[in-house]
Amino acid sequence: MNTKPSAPPRLAWLDNLRTAVTVLVVVHHAAQAYGPGDWWYVEGRPRSGALATLSALDGTFAMSLFFFVSAYFVPVSYERHGARAFLASRLRRLGIPLVVGAVTIVPGLMYAYYVHYRGYAPISYPRYFTDVYLGLGEKPADWSGPSWPDLQFAHLWFIQNLLAYSVLYLVCRQAAGIVRRRRTDRGAALREGGRIPGHGALALLTVALAVATYAVRLRYPLDTWVPFLDFLQVEPARLPLQGGFFLLGVVAHRYGLLERFPARTGWLWLAGGLGGAALLFAVGPGAGCFAPGGSGWRSALWSLYESALCVALCVGLLTLFRERCAGSGRLRRELAAGSYAVYIVHLPIVVAVQFALGSDGLPALGAWALTAVLALGAAFLAAAGLRRLPGFRSVL
């Protein structure tokens, strides 16, 4: 008699880590108007070099860690529900927010940018949505970008990529199942267990990720986004790190590495990651020794440095939360349950606060801190309310 595996016990520390990374994403977006010189929905705000460095540091590891944590839960979902139910669940949990957000949250943000900063004659939101956001109108000769049409997925790119990775995982599992059924040697199947990675394996992982990252950045520097298959919004420069850590999350579940990984190794890599982060603040990401892409040694150095920070901080934070942040009180459970909804709804809240604060008065660090605090409070409250509406809990 075939029975599906029961749900494993929740790992409270992993839920707490997911909450922390969600908070970090909100804090990162709160800094975008006040630190780096990248394109953002709000312009003309005071700038801080420290916030530019904070944004660069977040970019080295935060989303890779997010992909790792998300991937860790993918295999058990597939094994419990089967291929069809797994796909239906992914489409419900990821596809619905992606589509709804792309026709509500994102066009609202882009319309605000259009009205305040592009300098064109005012138009109504419905006309903007059809002519500019969807690109059904004529492209202005002096179009200022960042792309045409304005249709994009903004922060929802993570959900979009996670859905694509989940579908790819489903295809691979189905293909592996066909191959396994055709085998006559049952001993050829993969076995549970395996060696626990140590310092040498982590160092080799760092080098491999750095080489792949450098190779991609020969053509695609940082902050270059491409529409893969005219739909999937991808930043190739960080694809080796983010896609690699999704794969590592699947492998970690397959071999039970999170429970078996030695704390001593994790503490040492955390110390190294914190040291590397401190060095980055000392020299700044815009130092002459770093470059966001190209064939020079500066690009190679930044690829290696970013990969080392990513591996060290991801391994270190996983160890830190497993060993020191395993509590599961009512507040922590509520925050963890709402973290996905917070990720979806936080960006318009952040941008609204940045607009409200204006460009005068507060220094950059003060405006960033106030934006982060107000946006986090509002986003978690909004998430708690949305999850209690009929039909929303199954999605959020």
DSSP string, 55-93: HHHHHHHHHHHHHHHHHHTHHHHHHHHHHHHHHHHHIII
Q: What average pLDDT does range 229-244 have in this prediction?
A: 90
pTM of the model: 0.92
- Give the pLDDT confidence score for residue 130 in this predicted structure: 95
- Give the pLDDT confidence score for residue 8 in this predicted structure: 57
Q: What average pLDDT does range 307-315 have in this prediction?
A: 97
Residue with the two structure tokens 């076995």: 191
Exposed (0-12), middle (13-18) or buried (19+): which is 159, by Cβ within 10 Å?
buried
DSSP state for residue 186 in the 8-state scheme:
G
Average pLDDT, the chain: 90
- Give the pLDDT confidence score for residue 273 in this predicted structure: 97
The proportion of the chain whose per-residue pLDDT surpasses 70, expressed as a percent, equals 92
Phi-psi region of 139 (alpha: psi -120 to 50; beta: other; left: phi over 0): beta
Pairing mode, if any, of strands 232-234 and 226-228?
antiparallel
Residue with the two structure tokens 């107000």: 374
- Give the pLDDT confidence score for residue 212 in this predicted structure: 97
- Give the pLDDT confidence score for residue 360 in this predicted structure: 75
Assess contact for 258 and 197: CB atoms under 8 A: no
Q: What average pLDDT does range 214-232 have in this prediction?
A: 88
Q: How confident is the model at residue 30 (pLDDT cuts 50, 70, 90)?
A: very high
Four-point Cα dihedral 8, 13, 17, 22, nearest 10: 70
Q: Which helix (H) or strand (E) holds 232?
A: strand 232-234
Four-point Cα dihedral 270, 274, 279, 285, nearest 10: 100
- Give the pLDDT confidence score for residue 193 in this predicted structure: 56
Amino acid occupying residue 14:
L
pLDDT greater than 90 at residue 280: yes
pLDDT greater than 70 at residue 27: yes
pLDDT greater than 80 at residue 145: no
pLDDT greater than 60 at residue 271: yes
Assess contact for 43 and 272: CB atoms under 8 A: no
Cα–Cα distance for residue pair 239/110, rounded to 1 Å:
25
**Across-strand partners of 233?**
227
Cα–Cα distance for residue pair 166/70, rounded to 1 Å:
10
Q: What are phi and psi of 233, to 5 degrees?
A: -85, 115
